[in-house]
A and B are shown apart, each in its own frame.
Chain A
Amino acid sequence: MTTRIRSFVVLVTAALLQATIFSEFRFLGASAEILLLVTVLAGYHGGPDHGAIFGFFASLLQDALTGAPFGLHAMVYSPLAVGVSSLEDRLVESRPIVYGIGLVLAVIIGTSLAGFTGLLFGQTAITNVLLIKKSIIAGLTTAIVAAPINKSIQWSLSMSNPGVVELRIPEK
């Protein structure tokens, strides 16, 4: 299975999860942002180009699910994936806690920016305080479910990762 097919499978699964289980089970009115999570992880594991394209299609699905006009979430998701990839390149610290905090922050920033973009385009009827509160809760709940989704993103990209290069020294 190619990377594209695997990515498609991951995207569709993420959309179904977002529309079903994660819409039903909310905590303090906020749900986990699965499509944003796969975008962040695709940017992290797959690099800026892959992350941006992955984020673009994830955002179109998010638009369709939430009834927002096409392109609204893409204004945030694709740049966010590129940003995450760029930061990952510059990251010196590699402890899991740093990744965890980074992921929560990325989701909070992505969710709030998507909310503010919605406000700009008249798609959101919510106060700024509530928007930030919901973004923080969404970031934290998303981090809880990040581990299995991280595995699936790694699986979708495993075809594009270079294999182990075996160095052979010719016998004299």
Chain B
Amino acid sequence: MAAPGPAERSRPTLLILLAAALTLLTLQVRGAEPLDAFQQGIRDIIGPVRTIVDKSTDPIQSVWSGIVHYSELEEENERLAKELAEVRGEVLSEEADRELLERLLGEINIPYADLETVLARILGTPPGNFGSHLVEIDKGSDDGLSDGMAVVTGAGLVGRLEQVDRERSVVILATHPDFSVGVRLVESQDEGLAKGTGGYEMRLEDGVRLDAVIAEDEIVITSGGRSRFPADIPVGKVTDPDNFAEYERTIKIELAASLENLSFVNVVMGSKENS
């Protein structure tokens, strides 16, 4: 009988390792806290090294970014120039819109500016190649941050904290398919659950009445209540109200905050009234 080849000899080892991997996977998916803590421990050990390397390679990163994203920057420049021209042309109607928005926000007494926040810098995407719709920020549990906190910019909702380590955290952006938030339409006062699509927009599929008349450009804000997000944070505006839906209504929402090229964000610690 011929001796077994190397691949055959390794079968028991491979089977044991795969069984161990499946066990770990099952335990962690079911929420085994020691495994989460162990993972966080590894990231916390590596965290300071990452910070040092990040700071020391900052100038080189800028050069690299300039080289790699040159065409994108050119395109963005063109797009911004176009947008600026449009904005200049429509300045009067914009002012009218702003007045309307202020009046509407005033009507529902939005305390958006009263939220207690922590300013955080965007570090980039987390390690790995498939961290889509995720960004990493330079604040963590040492700064009082915890899982699930809302992340905003001056324009509105950006996402929520997903993975909080001591010095860093990962933000799941509002466009991520796993992201959902309770929202309210300002004019119709309908409430529902808006979800990320994996694209550039959000969709409101549950909760809104089929017969509710919703205007295009209607402002959408967080509904608060049992939601983990404080109420009245601007989310965006309706781009497609799907007014003629007969069975299921899908309302498309354009986010108020631009999620591309973010540099700084605010993590909402809670409203000042509550603290």
Contact = CB atoms under 8 A, between A and B. Distances in A.
Pairing of A with B: yes
| B-side interface size class | 35 or more
A2 interface: no
A31 interface: yes
Contacts of B124: 23-24
Interface string A13-46: 0011011110111111111010000000000000
Interface stretch (B83-91, B113-121, B130-138, B204-212): B130-138
A21 B57 contact: yes
A56 B17 contact: yes
Interface in A115-147: 115, 118, 121-127, 130-131, 134-135, 138
Contacts of B25: 69-72, 75, 121
A70 B24 contact: yes
B57 A24 contact: yes
B20 interface: yes
Contacts of A134: 129-130
Given A71-B20, A115-B129, A25 B7 contact: no
B176 interface: yes
SS class, residues of chain A in contact with chain B: helix
Interface stretch (B8-16, B73-81, B186-194, B226-234): B8-16
A81 to B, nearest CB: 9
Interface in B126-175: 126-133, 162-163, 170
Interface residues of A, number: 60
Contacts of B125: 23, 26, 29
A74 interface: yes
16 contacts: A19-B50, A20-B50, A20-B53, A20-B54, A23-B124, A33-B129, A47-B10, A48-B9, A49-B13, A64-B38, A65-B43, A66-B128, A122-B178, A123-B130, A130-B132, A138-B129
Interface of A: 15-16, 18-21, 23-31, 33, 47-49, 52-53, 56, 59-72, 74-75, 78-79, 82, 85-86, 89, 111, 114-115, 118, 121-127, 130-131, 134-135, 138
